[in-house]
Structures are given as structure tokens and as C-alpha cells.
Amino acid sequence: MLVLHGSYGPGTLERCRLLAHAGLVAFGMRWYGGEGQAPGICEIPVETFSRGLDLLQSEGAERLSVLGLSKGAEAALWLSILDQRTAAAVALSPPSVTWANLGPGTDGRNRPWRSSWTWQGEPLPFVPRDETWEPEQREDGLVSLRSWYERSGELYPDQYKAAAIPVETTTAQLVLVAGGDDRTWPSHSSARALRDRRLAAGLPTVLIERHAAGHRPRLPGEAPASPSTHLHYGGTDADDLALGEAAWPHILDALRGAETSPASPRQDTSTGS
């Protein structure tokens, strides 16, 4: 399986080791900021992740899956749609739409806004971000970005609709994991929107949620996330771990190929705080 980091950069080694200990072949790849790559998340080819699947396949992997966090979850969802070899996708703290770039592209420019992703050389539809947004002032100095995304969606309703990630078009098994106290972006409502689109199409979807958890669910066996000096992620370590523990058996089932029934809405599994 392919393991994708989020916008904070590389950091998949511990997660890959955890998955390997569970009997899976896990490959973590750096997909931006490296040599020959865009310095930011700007028009990253989804084919980048397909090459990760190519490598796994060349090593004898028969069932190809992907797990991603945050922007990595956004990429994982698109990979499951655009590369039909993807049998399962696990999206931790996912969005429900494609957002504009975070940082510069290969040309070194942050503006104008561009899509985070491309496919076959064409940018995927995306939502720009509100240029007038200013963060709330917190006593601890940390910045919550959630309202930026919420305001941008309200400001660009047509683009928001066009940029919806069409998860109803993939037959890959999906596991969505989200915390209601995510202060980075509205992953909880986004995960529910993704689930609803899948259920409307008669496709099985597992949603694991915990209202008090934040942006960084912690899988059992992983060390606590490092304290941030800039961003407010929400949640607590205890709630983030509880969310990861609740999701873990469902993640393993999907990655190992446990069967689900597309006709039964009971495959949508939710846990509260």
C-alpha cells in the first residue's frame, strides 16, 4: 500500500512501520518539496502516485491500496478515482473538494491560484481561497485555518460545486476518518459529504468519526504528534488516539480486502465521542 503524508511534509516512516508490523507492504513516498519536485502543493500530477503503485506492483503486490492524511487524503481520493488499480483508499481528515495550491509550483510562484493537482497534464477543478481572510487571534499564538476554508467555499459556490471530488465514480473501498474538532479545515463535514455521495450511488463507505478529535488522528502504536508552534490542529492527544483506535480495525479490513456489501447502508460505520 502507498502511504501519503500531508502538507506538513515527509513523515510516513513510523506509519509504514506500523502497517508493516500488521502484515502489510507499505511504501511512503515524498511527493513534493524534494529534488525535481514542486516546492509546494501546486499542480502535482496524480500520476506521481500512480508511479508509487507501479513500484508496489513491480515488487509483487497484488492488491494496491493508498492511505493519506489531510492533503495526502485529497490525493488518495483522486488516485482511487483516476487509477482503477486502487482497490482501497483510506482518507484521514479528508476534504470533499479540491482546493487551490498551498505554496509555489515548479515556476516558484504562489499566485495566481492554481489547482493542487493535475491529471494527464490538465489541472483538476479547484476552489480558490479568500484573499481577504485574516486568522483569529489566539492567546497561544497558534493559527486555525478552518474558517479560511469555510469562507472560501461560501465565497466561490460555483467553483466549490465543480471541485467536488467524485468519489461516487470509484469502486474502491473507502474508509473515511475525521474529527469534529479539526481546526485545520472542516474534515468532519467533508467526510460526511463524501459518505453521502457514495451512499446515494449505492456504494459502501465506512466513516469513523469522533467529535472531540482534531486534524491528526493517531493510530494505535504511533507516538503522539509533535506540538505545533504555528498551526492549531484541534482535538487532544487522547481524543486523536481514540479516533485512531476506533478506525484501526476498519482500516485493516479495507487494506486486506475484507468484503463489504454495496447494497447495505450499514456499511457506514460511525463512532461518536
User: Mean pLDDT throughout 60-65?
Assistant: 94
Distance CA 237, CA 218 (A): 8
User: Mean pLDDT throughout 100-121?
Assistant: 97
Written as one string, the DSSP assignment of 119-169 is ETTEEPP-B---TT--PPP-TT--B--HHHHHHHHHH-HHHHHHTB--GGG
pLDDT for the residue numbered 10: 66
pLDDT digits (tens, 9 = 90+) for 143-192: 999 999 999 999 999 999 999 999 999 999 999 999 999 999 999 999 99
CB contact set of 81 (below 8 Å; sequence gap of 6+): 165, 166, 167, 169, 170
pLDDT digits (tens, 9 = 90+) for 206-238: 999 999 999 999 999 999 988 888 999 999 999
Share of residues in the chain with pLDDT > 90 (%): 88
State the pTM of this model: 0.94
pLDDT for the residue numbered 9: 65
pLDDT for the residue numbered 163: 98
List of domains in the chain: 2-127+164-228+235-267 (3.40.50.1820)
